[in-house]
Amino acid sequence: MTTPTRRLRILGLLFVALLAQSAAGDSLRDRIAGKISDDKRLLISVTPEDEIKIGKQVSANLLGVAPLVKDDGLQRYVNTVGRWVALQSERPDLPWRFGVIESADVNAFAAPGGYILITRGLYASLSEEAELAGVLGHEITHVVERHHIELLRKGTLIEEGRKALEKRMNDDKDETLRRLVGSGAELFARGLDKGAEFEADRRGVVLAARAGYSPYGLPAVLQKIASVAKSDDRVQLLFKTHPLPEERLRALANSMGTQYDRYDRPGAGGTLYPLR
Amino acid sequence: MSSQLARSVRCLVCCCAVGLSPLACSNDDRQPNTVAGEKLAAAQPAPNVSLKASTAKMAPTPGTVLRETELKDKPFVDAKTLKKLAAQTAVAILDRQGGWLHVNAGGQVGWVRLLHVSTQPPGRSGSAQEIESAAKIATGRAGSGNIVATSGIRGLNEEQLKNAKPAPEELKKLESYGVSPEQAKDYARKHKLEARKIDYPPEPR
């Protein structure tokens, strides 16, 4: 929600800065440019192509920890459902890729540019295609809203980014991006802010409903996750990086109300591809 | 029974963790709702058979009402209200249908909104019976997925992620699974999924 207005504001500032350059020489330009913080310049500089590069990089790293489940049929299936849901989003033309990875953890990961990985543990907990659509809808929203790019702008990674920017004249852009993203797949260990997670829930249910599924698939998955002991190893990372499921259910109850009941179509869609 | 369940789950999870098929486990108990892949597979029809009903009888799952809500006689907003349920009321979840849960609330059976109920981990209310049923979340079809309590299995952690080394071959494989918009639309047509224009809800205050 905030991104377009912020971008406009930044563009406005840039415009002012350019005017200033022609009108009043270097010193004024420098003062105005100083108001544009480094992190905002960073946001401007991350193009969709950069997002895809970052996505490839962190996905390759995550796959180094948890490789793809060896089942072409399963992988094609999640790509089909995922692509259909992603087509309902505001960024249908990204090179969307979806995968199920070998991990007993209950989690799913969205990398910039449209790379989405869901664990075997989470896939095994699903009982219908609408639930898969809801989970993927949540992750697709992270990509569409560039939540991880925002994360890179803020937080502790920004220091690294600033250093990278300073060196930018001498570095190629790929190197800059690599520095920005940090080591390995740590991007996924940090977690987004709660607001981004609630937004992904809110919009994820709508993306699934736009795709013709029940909007209640994602809430049903959250309800299952609520039954897992907080101390269970397989939800440690999820609970560390996300609000607790009860909290997410409450937030969804507030934002959804009864307005989406008319889109409820229990059992709509194909059959969940069985795990081997 | 519950130790059998735990054994089967541990078995399954180790198999997952090392990337073996769960079929390799000797899994001889007859729990109907474990996450075991073979049971999931056995319980589901062939992928191209469309299954419309998402209701099935499940082992009851304990749940708690999150906010005051109404117990309805049918899964619709304008259905008859049987009684009001206060926040924190304990219910047994029998089944799910879309956004509604079929529950037993103090002996009275009816439907409540899914979003008004949460489940909780086993252990909060001690009996073996409850622990076992808490592992089976009613979510639709019989035999479908659950997250079952376990211990001693290491999940993904920060250290692992930070030290992750790239797997370019795996990334290449991931890229190769891409599906075109046309293929996705074909699938949707085949399964009668129609795209609908629906607005996002407003950002809450």
pLDDT, one tens digit per residue, over A176-223 is: 677 777 778 888 888 888 999 999 999 999 999 999 999 999 999 999
What local confidence, expressed as pLDDT, does residue A15 receive? 44
pLDDT for residue B148 is more than 50: yes
- Cβ contact, residue pair A126, B114, below 8 Å: no
One-letter identity of residue A15 = F
Contacts of B157 in chain A (CB under 8 A): 189, 236-237
Give the least confident one: A60-64, A154-158, B42-46, B61-65: B42-46
Q: Is residue A72 very low, low, confident or very high in pLDDT (cuts 50, 70, 90)?
A: very high
B11 Cα to chain A: minimum distance (Å): 12
Inspect the interface and report whether the beta carbons of A199 and B203 lie closer than 8 Å.
yes
* pLDDT value at B178 more than 90: yes
Measure in Å the smallest separation between the Cα of A68 and chain B Cα atoms: 7
Q: Quick one: pLDDT at residue A231? A: 85
**A63 compared with B5, residue with greater pLDDT:** A63
| Span B85-141, pLDDT tens digits | 999 999 999 999 999 999 999 999 999 999 999 988 765 443 333 333 333 433 333
pLDDT reported for residue A185? 85
**How close is the nearest chain B Cα to the Cα of A193, in Å?**
15
Provide mean pLDDT across the span A247-263. 94
More confident residue, A160 or B137: A160
Minimal Cα distance from B157: which residue of A?
A237
DSSP label at B90? Answer: E
Q: How far is B127 from chain A (nearest CA, A)?
A: 16
Chain A residue numbers with beta carbons less than 8 Å from the beta carbon of B180 are 83
CB contact (8 A) between residue A275 and residue B156: no
pLDDT above 90 coverage of chain A, percent: 61
Question: What is the pLDDT, as a whole number, of residue A6?
Answer: 55
What per-residue confidence (pLDDT) applies to A4?
55
The predicted pLDDT at position A5 comes to: 54
Calpha distance A84→A16 (Å, rounded)? 42
CB contacts < 8 Å between A and B, how many?
Answer: 325
B71 versus A37: the higher-pLDDT residue is B71
**Is a pLDDT exceeding 50 seen at residue A258?**
yes
Mean pLDDT of B25-54: 35
pLDDT band per the 50, 70, 90 thresholds, residue B186: very high
pLDDT class for B31, splitting at 50, 70, 90? very low
Average pLDDT for residues A156-173, to the nearest whole number?
58
CA nearest to A80 within chain B: B184
Contacts with B13 from chain A: Cβ below 8 Å: 104, 234
Average pLDDT of chain A, as a whole number: 83
In this complex, is the C-beta atom of A141 within 8 Å of any C-beta atom belonging to chain B? no
Interface test with B, best of A5, A127, A186 (most B CBs within 10 A): A127
Alpha-carbon gap: B107 to the closest alpha carbon of chain A (Å): 22
> Hey, is the C-beta of A148 within 8 angstroms of any chain B C-beta?
no
Q: What is the mean pLDDT of residues B151-158?
A: 69
Residue A3 pLDDT: 52
Q: What is the reported pLDDT for B12?
A: 34
Q: Which residues of B touch A107 (CB under 8 A)?
A: 155-156
Measured between CB atoms, which of B155, B181, B198 is closest to A234? B155
Average pLDDT estimate for A115-144:
97
Tell me how close the Cα of A184 comes to any Cα of chain B, in angstroms.
4
Phi and psi for A216 in degrees, rounded to 5? -95, 10
Q: Does B188 touch chain A (CB under 8 A)?
A: yes
Q: Is A216 on the interface with B (CB under 8 A)?
A: yes
- B146 — pLDDT class (breaks 50, 70, 90): low
Residue B142 in contact with partner chain A when CB distance is under 8 A = no
Residue B204 pLDDT: 82
B165 has a pLDDT exceeding 50: yes
Provide the pLDDT for residue A167.
60
When pLDDT is cut at 50, 70 and 90, the band that residue A138 belongs to is very high
Is A270 close to B147, i.e. CB distance below 8 A? no
- Whether residues B117 and A223 touch (CB distance < 8 A) is answered with yes
- DSSP secondary structure letter of residue B125: S
Nearest to A100 by CA among A56, A70, A126: A70
Mean pLDDT of all residues belonging to chain B: 69
